């Protein structure tokens, strides 16, 4: 009996320990080298890019990691380089994979898996529609906004069979579905910068002591059609450009913001904690490329409190 009691105490002690030390149980999903794509530095063991049919793809090895030789698997061929790899995407829309790894290393952290999504070009739309999915019309971009606003070059076609794909270590494709419909296929726009920000910010909040393996999602991509249907008056919501996310912490899986401040309630006081961390995130020099808008919203009868983040290229909060 005493042995059973002691065993229970030890187990409870370990549980308390692992849930009280900031960041201890969280795995950041980093590889032991980084690559660069379109100016973005990517340290994660799983990442995703979105390209047009036949588009040139170039991955560079981060300068500080070029003392080693790396290999890339493209189809049945393997290529080697210390610096970079360049090739062209397939012509057919769909999901493809490649692997960049350190040569002669069996270390699982010495490899980066890349999902390559060949997307449907925007000019394939027929009026407001892409196949049977209604996208609507994108606004013309005035000259004073062109530095920070670009119409999506195309749209990722999501089939139901793809929902389990890890876009990054902590985010699956099913988290990026629209609220517009539950039918398939759906078409969405995603910017790689948003994937990076979600991963880095998740790491930050874990380091701050707020445990989460991923974020709960209120909304990520919204079509211009659906954005207007929801009553949003702006034609330039970052959600229609594919680099915005409305998020919250939901460890218990009830699709509601967790009680982060320990007052026994889920209120805007909890989303304000994430808001403060997001503002602090945007002020860090190493994340300057990922700066964007930050806002905190209270809950209503349909969903709980949450924050908005995006990667528009400059910091603004409201």
Region 41-58: mean pLDDT is: 99
Global pTM value: 0.92
Going by pLDDT thresholds of 50, 70 and 90, the confidence category of residue 138 is: very high
Instruction: Specify the residue for token string 């290529």.
Output: 79
Domains of the chain: 25-118 (2.60.40), 120-318 (no CATH)
Instruction: Specify the residue for token string 């999903």.
Output: 29
pLDDT at 205 over 60: yes
pLDDT at 9 over 60: no
User: Could you give the percent of the chain with pLDDT greater than 90?
Assistant: 91
Going by pLDDT thresholds of 50, 70 and 90, the confidence category of residue 13 is: very low
**pLDDT tens digit string along 152-174?**
999 999 999 999 999 999 999 99
User: Which pLDDT value is given to residue 48?
Assistant: 99
**Cβ(165)–Cβ(173) below 8 Å:** yes
**Cβ(136)–Cβ(178) below 8 Å:** no
Region 58-72: mean pLDDT is: 99
Going by pLDDT thresholds of 50, 70 and 90, the confidence category of residue 24 is: low
pLDDT at 83 over 60: yes
> b/e for 99-123, b at 16 or more Cβ within 10 A?
ebbbeebeeeebbbbbbbbbbbbbe
Region 130-138: mean pLDDT is: 98
């Amino acid at each position: 009996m005493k042995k059973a009691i002691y065993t229970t105490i030890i187990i409870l002690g370990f549980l308390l320990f692992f849930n009280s030390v900031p960041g201890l149980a969280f795995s950041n999903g980093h590889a032991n080298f980084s690559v660069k794509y379109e100016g973005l530095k990517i340290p994660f063991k799983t990442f995703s890019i979105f390209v047009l049919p036949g588009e040139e793809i170039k991955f560079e090895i981060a300068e500080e990691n070029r003392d080693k030789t790396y290999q890339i698997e493209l189809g049945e061929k393997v290529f080697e380089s210390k610096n970079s790899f360049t090739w062209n995407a397939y012509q057919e829309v769909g999901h493809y994979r490649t692997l960049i790894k350190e040569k002669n290393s069996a270390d699982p952290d010495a490899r980066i898996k890349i999902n390559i999504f060949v997307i449907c070009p925007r000019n394939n739309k027929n009026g407001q529609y892409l196949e049977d999915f209604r996208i609507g019309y994108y606004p013309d971009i005035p000259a004073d906004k062109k530095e920070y606003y670009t119409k999506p070059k195309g749209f990722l076609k999501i089939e139901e069979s793809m929902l389990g794909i890890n876009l990054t270590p902590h985010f699956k494709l099913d988290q990026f579905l629209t609220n517009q419909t539950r039918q398939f296929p759906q078409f969405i726009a995603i910017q790689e910068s948003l994937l990076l920000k979600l991963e880095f910010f998740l790491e930050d909040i874990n380091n701050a002591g707020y445990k989460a393996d991923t974020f709960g999602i209120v909304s990520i991509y919204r079509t211009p059609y659906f954005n207007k249907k929801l009553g949003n008056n702006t034609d330039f919501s970052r959600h229609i450009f594919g680099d915005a996310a409305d998020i919250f912490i939901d460890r218990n899986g009830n699709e509601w913001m967790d009680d982060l401040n320990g007052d026994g309630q889920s209120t805007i006081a909890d989303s304000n904690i994430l808001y403060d961390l997001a503002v602090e995130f945007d002020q860090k020099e190493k994340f300057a490329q990922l700066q964007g808008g930050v806002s905190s919203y209270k809950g209503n009868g349909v969903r709980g409190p949450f924050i908005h983040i995006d990667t528009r290229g400059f910091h603004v909060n409201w």
